[in-house]
Structure 1
């Protein structure tokens, strides 16, 4: 069995740590809800379990991935945020899924900034994108707060048309 370690990243209010089987109830609740409509949901519990396994496997395959985001004050998992580049993606992405009840606090922006810092400073990325469904105005606002600008569209077989938001280069942040 291949062993790998998912690094932990700390921000002022959040801990970004590797996703685990113990996160399944919170992840399943998110993907069962309409809140997940822009990121492939709603999903059944079985499909969500497979998706969680995919999130963890991404780390093993590529050496980076998305973290479970934990609110330091409560210890609650409030989302999944990080680096994503599965087969069929146009280029490496910084993505965020914030769970119900945690929106409006700046958590998506805070976690995505930490993820982008990791991509640029640790992995040596020179560019990054975020893909956002055109109707997902909340995620488009997060992309804007991160300094990302619309840079075309991408048509995905499963997710449909997505707006590409290009993040500033490392030397610009």
Structure 2
């Protein structure tokens, strides 16, 4: 798993020390647009699956760390679980990290890494309609709503909108 560095951030391998903050996010109303509020056991499954994606798919999750303070800010991930028709760029930020451009900086680095290493694949973000912060971030990243794109298995347009990122070409 590569480590990526930006001006303010280090995208690094997730660590056990990151899990309590991740689990707290998952148990909070902030997780509504991710998978809904879930307990620590399911949060562990989500955390571990994103890490386990690296040897299986050649991409996965990075923990976002503030370079100056070493603070865990959340995660940015590239994933394609079995029910996703395409690889997804996603992000989860701790509340104290929001509104600082951290998600944009981390997602840009992850998107660019994906384009350099998996240029044969398209990249989307699956976003719950009404998640205005994520919709705005996807647009800022240059992604456009693609109403004709296939949805994850079992999901409807009322539950999931597909934002397609521009290809590296």
Give TM-score, length-normalised by structure 2.
Answer: 0.91
Show the counterpart of 2:164. Answer: 166
Deviation at 1:57, TM superposition (A): 1.0
Show the counterpart of 1:129. Answer: 124
- For structure 2, the 5+ residue unaligned runs are none
Show the counterpart of 2:2. Answer: 7
1:125–1:19 distance in 2 versus 1, CA, 3 Å: farther
Q: Distance in 2 between matches of 1:56 and 1:126?
A: 20
* Between structures 1 and 2, the one with greater strand share: 1
Do residues 73 (structure 1) and 68 (structure 2) align? yes
2:9·2:65 contact (CA, 8 Å) conserved in 1? Answer: yes
1:126·1:170 contact (CA, 8 Å) conserved in 2? Answer: no
Choose 47-56 or 136-145, whichever is displaced more. Answer: 47-56
Do residues 88 (structure 1) and 86 (structure 2) align? no
Aligned to 1:147, the other structure's residue is in SS state: coil
1:30–1:7 distance in 2 versus 1, CA, 3 Å: same
Query: Once the two structures are superposed, what CA deviation does each residue of 1:24-44 show, in whole Å capped at 9, x if it has no partner?
Result: 111111111111111113111
Deviation at 1:85, TM superposition (A): 0.6
Do residues 102 (structure 1) and 101 (structure 2) align? no
- For structure 1, the 5+ residue unaligned runs are 1-5
1:12-161 alignment runs, 5 A limit: 12-152=7-147, 154=151, 156-157=153-154, 161=159
Give TM-score, length-normalised by structure 1.
Answer: 0.89
Aligned to 1:164, the other structure's residue is in SS state: strand
Q: Distance in 2 between matches of 1:35 and 1:156?
A: 24
RMSD: 1.7
Deviation at 1:161, TM superposition (A): 2.1
Deviation at 1:127, TM superposition (A): 2.3
Query: Once the two structures are superposed, what CA deviation does each residue of 1:67-90 show, in whole Å capped at 9, x if it has no partner?
Result: 111111221111110211110102
